[in-house]
Structure 1
Amino acid sequence: MSRQLNFNLGREYELIEYPGRVVNIDRMEATLGGIVNISKVLDDEKKRLELRFHPENPYNKPTFGDCTDKSGVLLSVTVRRHKRDKTRPPQHFVRLLGYCSRSFSFESLCDFQYLPLWHQPKSNDALVADELSYALPLVKPSDVTDLDYFKRKESQLLCLPELFARVDIVHGGNFRIDETEDGQQEVLGVVTKTTYDNHDIVPFNMQDTFPTQPDAQILKRLKIKYVSDEQFMRVKKLFAESPVWTRIALLYESGVTNDKLKCIIPSLAFYFSNGPWRTLYVRYGYDPRKDFKSRYYQTFDFRLRFGSGVSEFVYSRKSAKLKKSLTGAADDSKNDLVQNIDYPYFEEHKLPRSRQCMLRYCDVRLPKIQEMLEKIPTPLTGAVCNERTGWLPPSFDSQVRQVVCATISELLRNHYRKEHLTAEVDAVPQTDVDGEGDVEGEGDGDEEYYGEDEDMEIDESAANETFDDKNIEQLLNNMTS
């Protein structure tokens, strides 16, 4: 076999990787917009090449070809074989026709394609199948001089969306698999990025050392933000009393505004992004891994579902903030049942401030829970905390959630019983001492105590209904544990 090579760079070509089998070159050029449109795209480095599978149909979204740098050559290979002597090896003549430095490839998503088709019955016989007809002339005029189209009294309607996909670039999602995770833990991780960019954010682990002092740039920023010494000392005193705090607790106890607190905290504490003390601020130099008392400061993440028993009272934090700003100190009776949105603790006789509360275990002011924390046995000498559960035993958070949910259920149970008794009293007609007639809205001033909630409608038939524990349980069955 012999080869003859002819190296001549020749002319430069443009490579278009057409996503289909080309049988007719003219029809292929029509799907790309014609030779004129192709030339315009090739002259501009930023334009994308449009490919329409139905060039004459305006109701289809084109797929776009992106220009990428790709080197290649165009070769012409000629093979000559001896006609008489079949044993002779063939001769190959290779000729270089040209080269290319870029390529247009169609790797984007192709959106939905539509054709204006309508069913038209062939006859009045219901057994005969309808036939489809291409009704583009009935949908749009052929040109501006198509007077027949504008003289029609009724026309076919075709309402299509402009596009379905917001983007036409394929993104591959690769999920990281943690091989050490056994799926038995109930600790929820932080899934959203923190909104503060000036915190010293530290991931929790059992090997690294935690920072002992703030960065120099943080101290410099503290002076620029005009934070007074009094405000700084307030927050510093709180960290001297307790080494770990939540942000809402610092706002409540210090009385410092949020914008000032965002400048003060990074100079006194760092922020845990995960682990048993996640979303909490820890004083510089304090290592909760070495202090058994730090179990009181571990994160307790409590969440409520959108259940019928709680959703009418407890809102999300954003909604509660908005409602508070609009109504101010509202006189709604529900405010007496729900904790203030800015109060950082969980009390025994109040509902949670929002549907998700990030608390320390010491912030849950229930005697039973504090007793459970006290009864945890002191670890042996040399023992270390767990990377996920800290100093607390496994499933301790589940037990705390059960106690909190039982407290909330009992609180709501008493509230609904009280409302039912109020409805019964309001439904019974009251008379005066002399028996001259009914009295409505007069008397000893109990109207405010027995008043109806603005969101509830109570009629006289409510007094005849039985309201036992089964009815109450139906209202509480959607609350989380």
Structure 2
Amino acid sequence: MSRQLSFNPQKEFELIEYPGKVVNPDRMLATLGGIINISKVLGDEVKRLPLRFHPENPYNKPAFGDCSEKTGVLLSITVRRHKKDRQRPPEYFVRVLGHCSRVFTFDSLCDFQYLPLWSTPRSDSANAALELTYALDQLMPRDSADLDFFKRRHSQLLSLPELFTHVDVVYPGSYRTDSQEDGQQEVLGVQSKATYDNQGVISFNMVDSFPTQADSQNLKRLKVKYVSDEQLACVKKLFDDCPIWTRIALQYESGLTNDKLKCITPSLAYYFSNGPWRTMYVRFGYDPRKDFNSRYYQTFDFRLRFSTGLSEFVYSKKFVKQRKAANASSGPSEDGSSDLVQDIDYPYFDEHKLPRSRQCMLRYSDVRMARIQEMLEKIPTPLTGAVCNERTGWLPPGFDAQVRQIVCSTISELLRSHYRKEHLTAEVEAVPQTDAAEEEDEADVEEEEDTQEEDMEQDESQTEQYPDTDIEQLLDNITS
């Protein structure tokens, strides 16, 4: 058996998988709208190829073919057999006629196909059986000059809807049945799982036991991703020192990239998707439900309400990261907000700076404010055998609201001080000063500082008097 090959890869074809047996190519082209319509569809990347089973009948909906990117080769194979010697193996001649890069397939559903048929009784039948007659010529005018069409009386009425179905693609999903809820559930809402394959994502509850060791697949992933022993030991030491961490805190303290942590953390800790420790990584074998000290690591979800003052400094996390990446080549940003707002990769909340983004997922221990840490210390130790709450953990009800109010007051006072400094600086730059005027201004500044201290004391008394005031109300007087 011998084979001969010849190639012609320069010629490109368009493949149309016609859903039927082609006997007459001309009639096949007519069902696709003719060669002109096919050329229009092939020249457009968006159009679908219509297929009408009855090209002359307007009362049927076409089936559409969708274009998809596929690679194919058109081959021509010729087989030659010896007529005299049948035992000799045949010879094959293979030619490559060309190639194709896309194909039209008719995988969509077909809608109802109607024919304009009228039922008329047979004149030659004694039983007066009905006969179906193709009445398209009676329902439509022959041409634009056929004025007799409007004088004809139709014995029957054919009225069909213009559209039967809105879509012709099969929906691959399946509907889920929601469980019946009685409204008594108090567990925090479940967030979506991480985009990567994390085997340790669990839901918080008071019944089930938490994982004590990592999955075997996660341990194998460490070798595939080329994680060094030093990197693994660094993260393991952090979990030995503190059993619960946030992702951004692990990245900040370890100095590793996010891709490395995605491989390391599933082998050392599991991840809570809801509950008091939502979005936290907990060391394997550690049960926060049994340790009263785990209250320091509960989730503090802080979100900013924006008004005129805050929107000038704090942006969304996505916007800040894009701007940071754009400024990486030209150096750090030198705008005024960089000194007032915390860095986007800084995992803690300091008292003298604004939050890093509009929403911050923190541990209560990450809020570095003496007043809040004292509140955590003063929480009374529960009795022996007591368990934490499924919603609030080891913290009393309303504790998160009090902490949020303190943080909002701190942010409000920080913005007030910032705007006062800008106002004083603008006044000093606008008025030229002499030596005598400088001495007078120093006295005025001292009086102004005393006035500021009195205003701060008055603001603190008002904050204590109205503890439920939100950040928007606190910032109403900033620009006045």
TM-score (norm 2): 0.56
Equivalent of 1:337 in 322, 336, 340: 340
Q: What CA distance in whole angstroms lies between the structure 2 residues aligned with 1:167 and 1:323?
A: 44
Q: What CA distance in whole angstroms lies between the structure 1 residues aligned with 2:385 and 2:199?
A: 32
Corresponding residue for residue 181 of structure 2: 179
Equivalent of 1:364 in 367, 372, 376: 367
Corresponding residue for residue 229 of structure 1: 229
**Runs of 5+ unmatched residues, structure 2:** 1-53, 65-104, 114-142, 145-165, 438-457, 463-470
CA shift at 1:36, angstroms? 6.9
What's the secondary structure of 1:270's corresponding residue?
strand
Q: Which amino acid aligns with 2:228?
A: S
Corresponding residue for residue 475 of structure 2: 476
Q: What CA distance in whole angstroms lies between the structure 1 residues aligned with 2:55 and 2:371?
A: 76
Equivalences for residues 117-196 of structure 1 within 5 A: 176=178, 179-182=181-184, 189-196=189-196
Q: Which amino acid aligns with 1:229?
A: D
Cα deviations across residues 330-367 of structure 1 (Å, max 9, x unaligned)?
A: 11121111001000000010100000000000000111
Q: CA RMSD in A?
A: 4.0
Question: Does structure 1 residue 254 correspond to structure 2 residue 239?
Answer: no
Cα deviations across residues 65-105 of structure 1 (Å, max 9, x unaligned)?
A: xxxxxxxxxxxxxxxxxxxxxxxxxxxxxxxxxxxxxxxxx
Query: Are the counterparts in 1 of residues 307 and 475 from structure 2 also a CA contact under 8 Å?
Result: yes
CA shift at 1:191, angstroms? 3.8
Query: Are the counterparts in 2 of residues 306 and 478 from structure 1 also a CA contact under 8 Å?
Result: no
Corresponding residue for residue 452 of structure 2: none
Cα deviations across residues 182-214 of structure 1 (Å, max 9, x unaligned)?
A: 59x6x7534433222224111110110101000
CA shift at 1:48, angstroms? 4.4
Corresponding residue for residue 275 of structure 1: 275
Q: Which amino acid aligns with 1:415?
A: H
Q: What CA distance in whole angstroms lies between the structure 2 residues aligned with 1:474 and 1:427?
A: 32
Q: Identity of paired residues, percent? A: 64
CA shift at 1:257, angstroms? 1.2
Corresponding residue for residue 316 of structure 1: 316
Equivalent of 2:404 in 397, 401, 415: 401
Corresponding residue for residue 355 of structure 1: 358
Equivalences for residues 26-45 of structure 1 within 5 A: 35=57, 38=60
Q: Which amino acid aligns with 2:422?
A: E
Equivalences for residues 329-478 of structure 1 within 5 A: 329-428=332-431, 430=432, 476-477=475-476
Instruction: Indicate the structure with greater helix content.
Output: 2
**Runs of 5+ unmatched residues, structure 1:** 1-31, 53-141, 144-164, 436-467
Q: Which amino acid aligns with 2:380?
A: P
CA shift at 1:223, angstroms? 1.1
Q: What CA distance in whole angstroms lies between the structure 2 residues aligned with 1:166 and 1:476?
A: 52
CA shift at 1:427, angstroms? 2.0
Corresponding residue for residue 295 of structure 2: 295
Q: What CA distance in whole angstroms lies between the structure 1 residues aligned with 2:366 and 2:260?
A: 24
Range that drifts further, 224-233 or 279-288:
224-233
Over 3 Å counting, the alpha-carbon distance change for 1:395 and 1:167 in structure 2 is farther
Cα deviations across residues 258-310 of structure 1 (Å, max 9, x unaligned)?
A: 11111110110000011100100000000000000000000000001232121
Query: Are the counterparts in 2 of residues 210 and 287 from structure 1 also a CA contact under 8 Å?
Result: yes
Over 3 Å counting, the alpha-carbon distance change for 1:181 and 1:196 in structure 2 is farther
What's the secondary structure of 1:311's corresponding residue?
helix
Query: Are the counterparts in 1 of residues 110 and 168 from structure 2 also a CA contact under 8 Å?
Result: no
Q: What CA distance in whole angstroms lies between the structure 2 residues aligned with 1:282 and 1:385?
A: 16
Q: What CA distance in whole angstroms lies between the structure 2 residues aligned with 1:400 and 1:294?
A: 17
Query: Are the counterparts in 2 of residues 343 and 353 from structure 1 also a CA contact under 8 Å?
Result: yes
What's the secondary structure of 2:282's corresponding residue?
strand
Equivalences for residues 56-75 of structure 1 within 5 A: none
Over 3 Å counting, the alpha-carbon distance change for 1:333 and 1:200 in structure 2 is same
Query: Are the counterparts in 1 of residues 61 and 112 from structure 2 also a CA contact under 8 Å?
Result: no
Over 3 Å counting, the alpha-carbon distance change for 1:254 and 1:39 in structure 2 is closer
Q: What CA distance in whole angstroms lies between the structure 2 residues aligned with 1:172 and 1:41?
A: 25
Query: Are the counterparts in 2 of residues 302 and 358 from structure 1 also a CA contact under 8 Å?
Result: yes
What's the secondary structure of 1:306's corresponding residue?
coil
Q: Which amino acid aligns with 2:475?
A: L
CA shift at 1:168, angstroms? 9.6
What's the secondary structure of 2:426's corresponding residue?
helix
Equivalences for residues 40-119 of structure 1 within 5 A: 46=107, 48=109
Query: Runs of at least 4 residues of structure 1 off by over 4 A?
Result: 32-37, 39-42, 44-52, 165-178, 431-435, 472-475
Over 3 Å counting, the alpha-carbon distance change for 1:177 and 1:414 in structure 2 is farther
Q: Which amino acid aligns with 1:237?
A: K
Q: What CA distance in whole angstroms lies between the structure 1 residues aligned with 2:424 and 2:177?
A: 55
Range that drifts further, 353-362 or 220-229:
220-229
TM-score (norm 1): 0.56
Over 3 Å counting, the alpha-carbon distance change for 1:34 and 1:292 in structure 2 is farther
Cα deviations across residues 420-452 of structure 1 (Å, max 9, x unaligned)?
A: 111211221x157799xxxxxxxxxxxxxxxxx
What's the secondary structure of 2:353's corresponding residue?
coil
Q: What CA distance in whole angstroms lies between the structure 1 residues aligned with 2:477 and 2:427?
A: 27
Q: What CA distance in whole angstroms lies between the structure 2 residues aligned with 1:305 and 1:275?
A: 24
Q: What CA distance in whole angstroms lies between the structure 1 residues aligned with 2:266 and 2:415?
A: 40
Query: Are the counterparts in 2 of residues 309 and 478 from structure 1 also a CA contact under 8 Å?
Result: no
CA shift at 1:418, angstroms? 1.0
Over 3 Å counting, the alpha-carbon distance change for 1:418 and 1:208 in structure 2 is same
Q: What CA distance in whole angstroms lies between the structure 1 residues aligned with 2:436 and 2:365?
A: 59
Q: Which amino acid aligns with 2:249?
A: A
What's the secondary structure of 2:318's corresponding residue?
helix
Q: What CA distance in whole angstroms lies between the structure 1 residues aligned with 2:362 and 2:355?
A: 11
CA shift at 1:417, angstroms? 1.0
What's the secondary structure of 2:373's corresponding residue?
helix
